[in-house]
Amino acid sequence: MKPEEILLNVIEDKYKEDKLDQKDTNKIFWKIVEFEANAIGAIGERFVKKLLKSFNVSLKDNNKDKTIHNEYDIWINKPKKILLEVKTARLGKKVKTFQFNGINPNYNYDYLICIGITKEDIYYRIISKNVDFKYIHNKNQRGHWIDIDGKLWKIIEMNPGNSVNYKLTINLKIMKHISLFKEEFFNILDLKENEKKLQNILKKEIK
């Protein structure tokens, strides 16, 4: 047997051993399991951009400023400036959780959009950078946390000593179905508008 044939057999055996030959091709998003992490991230960012455009939300072309762009993925231009960071994950095979990687709590964005993809459906969470991100100084809980529905979820360093990239692991059951995204997102746009009006009123009162 030739070396190429031996390797081919080993690969085929491993492919079946890992059950990669058992694809749920009747599931709408079954191909998501085929992609590596970077590709899944690109899919999520592209999805959110196209989704927002379908809502007639005006996005700014931020490809010209690569340095600033590193801190966020999407710049909403109108009706007001909002910076979004998008993180995407697929559902774990054994444990029903999503692991969102590469979160930096010090970056300059307004909202973290977490997109969770299963073979059957799409889920999301919208997390406010200013409201939901917490830092606890208590030595027993010290670190960065995210408040989701009143429960704190700790974001963990992806590698020991790496204070730039963190990961958030959350359960499928606390994710929201994508059908609710539009209403929640437009509520956020209204909140930002009211906040801006309040700030203008306060500035006038101070003067």
Tens digits of per-residue pLDDT, 142-165?
999 999 999 999 999 998 877 789
Task: Tell me the residue range of the domain where 178 lies.
Answer: 35-206
Number of domains, the chain:
1
Is residue 12 one of the residues assigned to a domain?
Answer: no
pLDDT digits (tens, 9 = 90+) for 57-111: 989 875 555 445 578 999 998 767 899 999 999 999 888 999 999 999 999 999 9
Distance set, CA 129 to CA 88, 103, 137 (Å): 17, 11, 18
**pTM (2 d.p.):** 0.82
User: In sequence order, what are the residues at sequence separation of 6 or more whose Cβ sits closer than 8 angstroms to the Cβ of residue 164?
Assistant: 104
pLDDT-wise least confident of 26-35, 39-48, 110-119, 122-131: 26-35
Beta strands in 142-184 (DSSP E): 143-148, 151-154, 156-157, 166-171, 176-177
Per the CB < 8 A criterion, the answer to whether 100 and 168 are in contact is yes
Is residue 9 one of the residues assigned to a domain?
Answer: no
Is residue 100 one of the residues assigned to a domain?
Answer: yes
Euclidean distance between CA atoms 153 and 138, whole angstroms: 15
Per the CB < 8 A criterion, the answer to whether 101 and 87 are in contact is yes
Whether 3 shows a pLDDT value over 90: the answer reads: no
User: In sequence order, what are the residues at sequence separation of 6 or more whose Cβ sits closer than 8 angstroms to the Cβ of residue 150?
Assistant: none
Whether 138 shows a pLDDT value over 80: the answer reads: yes
- The pLDDT value recorded for residue 93 is 83
Contacts of the segment 27-32: beta carbons below 8 A, 24+ positions apart? 27/119, 27/120, 28/119, 28/120, 28/121, 29/117, 29/118, 29/119, 29/120, 29/121, 29/122, 30/119, 32/90, 32/117, 32/118, 32/119
DSSP 1-13: --HHHHHHHHHHH
Is residue 54 one of the residues assigned to a domain?
Answer: yes
Euclidean distance between CA atoms 69 and 185, whole angstroms: 22
Is residue 16 one of the residues assigned to a domain?
Answer: no
* Residue linked to tokens 């999407």: 74
Distance set, CA 55 to CA 48, 58, 59, 86 (Å): 11, 9, 11, 17
Residue closest to 78 by CA, chosen among 105, 59, 104, 102: 59
Is residue 60 one of the residues assigned to a domain?
Answer: yes
Is residue 1 one of the residues assigned to a domain?
Answer: no
Is residue 3 one of the residues assigned to a domain?
Answer: no
